[in-house]
Amino acid sequence: MAETHFPDGTFAYPQYLTQTEYDQAPKGARQHYLYGKRSGKFRLKDHVWSEFEPLVKEIEELKAAKAELETKHATNRDALTAAAIDDAITASLKAAGVKAAFLRAVALLVRDAHPFTVDTTGGEETVVADTPYGVQTASALVEQFLQSEDGQAYLGKEGLSAQVPSHFAAQLRR
């Protein structure tokens, strides 16, 4: 079914109309349509359609370009959000003293454990995650992870437990 009216309510002069659409069209617009016996639809007269056709094509091209730009914008926004989340987690890990060799792996562990978002209220970007205990910042979650038994292994401490997560270290000691 063709869109018969523009958003502002004016008649759009689609190329084809069904009987119902024709009956609902403004009386002044009906004179520009011919009834097609084979199709059972009303068709815009050729001399009128020749004026509208380039405009219709341009509108379709503009709609396609708009959709493409919206897709690119969403993709860029998602990439910027992901980069902000990764940067915040990595900065918190560095500040906590996580060994450089473990930064990427620990950042993935923390990121996969919680659904992070970027909160822009108050004019600043803050990376937060909704946890069972409420909304917490990325730095708070990094700190909690590093205080856990598994997280302590990634800090710059000496010994076997500092090099291997505790559940693996226990298996190695057997």
What per-residue confidence (pLDDT) applies to 156? 63
Tell me, yes or no, whether 102 lies in a domain. yes
Tell me, yes or no, whether 24 lies in a domain. no
Q: Tell me the CA distances in angstroms from 123 to 80, 89, 96, one per residue in order.
A: 17, 20, 26
Low-confidence ranges of the chain (pLDDT < 50): 158-164, 169, 171-174
What per-residue confidence (pLDDT) applies to 123? 79
Tell me, yes or no, whether 65 lies in a domain. no
Tell me, yes or no, whether 138 lies in a domain. yes
Q: State if pTM tops 0.85.
A: no
What per-residue confidence (pLDDT) applies to 10? 86
Q: Quote the percentage of the chain above a pLDDT of 70.
A: 88
Q: Tell me the CA distances in angstroms from 79 to 74, 76, 150, 158, one per residue in order.
A: 9, 5, 30, 37
Tell me, yes or no, whether 58 lies in a domain. no
Domain range for 163: 86-173
Tell me, yes or no, whether 105 lies in a domain. yes
Q: Tell me the CA distances in angstroms from 9 to 111, 125, 134, one per residue in order.
A: 49, 42, 47
Q: Tell me the CA distances in angstroms from 39 to 18, 19, 30, 35, one per residue in order.
A: 10, 11, 17, 8
Tell me, yes or no, whether 42 lies in a domain. no
What is the number of domains present in the chain? 1
Pairing of strands 33-35, 126-131: unpaired
Q: Are 150 and 161 in contact (CB under 8 A)?
A: no
Tell me, yes or no, whether 132 lies in a domain. yes
What per-residue confidence (pLDDT) applies to 21? 92
